[in-house]
Amino acid sequence: MEPKTVRRAPGAGFPARHIAPEDAVNALPAGTVVLTLDGALPVEFLNEGDRVISRNCGVATLTRIHRDRRRVDTITIQKGTLGVSRPEQDALVLARQEILVRDWRAGTLFGASQALVPARRLIDGEFIRDAGQLNLDLFELHFDSPQILYADGLELASANLVPATV
């Protein structure tokens, strides 16, 4: 994963959401690899105080991690579907996980150069598929402000400031 960041104030330039924040469930399944200043690490190895690479501000400090096991709707995204190495390998995300889309889909589907949308709105039945409900160990990553993180080659929104219910 090669993050494309610019130096901005934390939270600056957060893309427009195409879902109400309370309808999102921004949590990463165990095994998801997140870019940090210590390298690419599985989400379950992260701790409060770790510095995570963020599209918004370059680096964001993890203030809280909420771990939970839940039955959730999931989506699989085939390797390279959202751009070169996006994702780097087939990825499993929550259906309500917000993904930053910056390709033709953003313009065609949402009329913008970039859009923050739940994974389920990107299902095409071929490259992005409904994987059904699974029991997963989930990790909600919280920061002082909303962030776009690099995880498994995708640009994913951090956990909501107000916890969402599944």
**Residue 88 burial class via C-beta count within 10 angstroms: exposed 0-12, middle 13-18, buried 19 and up:** middle
Closest among 89, 100, 106, 105 to 31, alpha carbons compared: 89
CATH architecture of 23-157: Beta Complex (2.170)
At 24 the pLDDT is: 53
Does residue 15 contact residue 98 with C-beta atoms inside 8 Å?
Answer: no
At 61 the pLDDT is: 96
At 99 the pLDDT is: 93
Parse the chain into domains and list their residue ranges.
23-157
**In which residue are the tokens 């039955």 written?**
71
pLDDT, tens only, 47-63: 999 999 999 889 999 99
Does residue 149 contact residue 58 with C-beta atoms inside 8 Å?
Answer: no
Residue 20 pLDDT more than 80? no
Range from 81-85, 95-99, 161-165 carrying the lowest mean pLDDT: 161-165
Closest among 155, 154, 153, 159 to 141, alpha carbons compared: 159
